[in-house]
Amino acid sequence: MDEMLELARGFYEDEYADSVLYAQLAKIEKDEEIRKEFMRLSNIESKHAKFWHDFIKRHGGEVPKPSVKRLTIFSVKLLRRVLGPGSVASLLEMGENSAIQKYFKYLTTYAERFSEDELREIKDVILDELEHEKFFYESKERFHVENTRDLVLGMNDGLVEILGAVTGLSAVYPNNPQLVGISGLIVGVAGALSMAIGTFVSVRSQRQIKESIRDRMEVLFRVSPERAAEELVEKLVEGGMPEEVAKEVARELADNSEAIMQLLLPKAEENEIRAALYTGFAYLLGVAFPVTPYFLASSSLTALPFSILLAGSALAIVATLISLLSGISIKKKVVEMVATGLGAAFLSYLFGRLMEVLFNVSAL
């Protein structure tokens, strides 16, 4: 079977699976508006699957038997229950963007082999996928998915930093696991406070800077609308818009100061207090995995492998979530994060051994 039909088979299977996924999400969604949207998307994906089914048959191909991706459905449902609808919206937006790119490449590569009706229908499929992506992007903004990012990255920092700390301390105090655990907790609490305060200051500063610039633009618009329009033209041209088109847009928006300011500087929606709380809590959650075994074991060297195992498992979960939220390879991200996290722990252990040899602190 040639590549065109092989790709179409994959599209058919993906659209069928997405139709089932959206229907399953609709069953557990409490927000009535989103539940109805999931059902509408399920019906549209079912229509797409039928198009690819008929397309394959018209071109003499064998239609594959569709399968339900149960692991994907379970994972997305779990993500929805644990991290909320924002994470699901981010994940699904990523999937829709991927589908758009694949369909566009397919359309431009094999256009000469399609009938006029097929060309039109494939373009309609792409337009539907673009509309889906827009819905998920808007849903993601509505549910503050940026705080999911704070949660995931804060937990990652807590895991890596405290795993390194307790691993190094295990070499220094092999017979005093509780001291290692207490030390890890102290460092973890200090780190959580530092991360939370840092996030608060960073997000607040960014918002204040944007608000200051918006105030400046509002004054500029009231004092000299012409100059404000010139700045809009400059930004649009920098973004790749032809100068004549940019000038026409500026003329059309000449009396709408809010629209001009929105184009020049979108509002910063992230809340610094919420971001700080998410980051600090997530950091403490990350601390719990490597520290807990030290309060249960009889020696630090006994607790160490369990600490590494728990932290490594948690790192793999965090890596998976980061991959789902950013669209990168899950396998590569898991290997990267687990390897770097455990690598840092190993180096910390070596450094701890060096300190123990140099200062004989384990005997203190």
Tens digit of pLDDT for each residue in 49-81? Answer: 999 999 999 988 888 888 777 777 777 777 677
pLDDT band at 287 (very low <50, low <70, confident <90, very high): very high
Residues 6+ apart with CB under 8 A from 78: none
Residues 6+ apart with CB under 8 A from 334: 315, 316, 319, 320, 323
pLDDT band at 1 (very low <50, low <70, confident <90, very high): very low
Q: What is the average pLDDT across 170-184? A: 92
- Among residues 254, 210, 215, the alpha carbon closest in space to that of 232 is found at 254
Q: How far apart (Å, rounded) are the C-alpha atoms in residues 89 and 48?
A: 21
Q: How far apart (Å, rounded) are the C-alpha atoms in residues 308 and 364?
A: 26
Q: pTM, whole model, 2 decimals? A: 0.64
| Residue tagged 């950013």 (tokens) | 326
- Interaxial angle between packed helices 3-28 and 70-83, expressed in degrees from 0 to 180 and rounded to the nearest 10: 40
**Of residues 92 and 249, more confidently modeled:** 249
Listed in order, the ranges of the chain carrying CATH 1.20.1260.10 are: 3-143
For the ranges 8-22, 298-312, 346-360, the maximum mean pLDDT occurs at 298-312
pLDDT band at 327 (very low <50, low <70, confident <90, very high): low
* Pair 221, 228: CB distance under 8 Å: yes
Q: What is the average pLDDT across 32-61? A: 88
Q: What pLDDT is recorded for position 363?
A: 47
- Among residues 279, 282, 272, the alpha carbon closest in space to that of 209 is found at 272
Q: What pLDDT is recorded for position 230?
A: 78
Residue 190 has pLDDT above 90, yes or no: yes
- Among residues 108, 130, 106, the alpha carbon closest in space to that of 55 is found at 106
Residue 128 has pLDDT above 80, yes or no: yes
On average, the pLDDT of the chain sits at 81
Q: What pLDDT is recorded for position 205?
A: 86
What is the fold of 3-143? Ferritin (1.20.1260)
Q: What is the pLDDT of residues 347-356, one digit of tens each?
A: 888 888 888 7
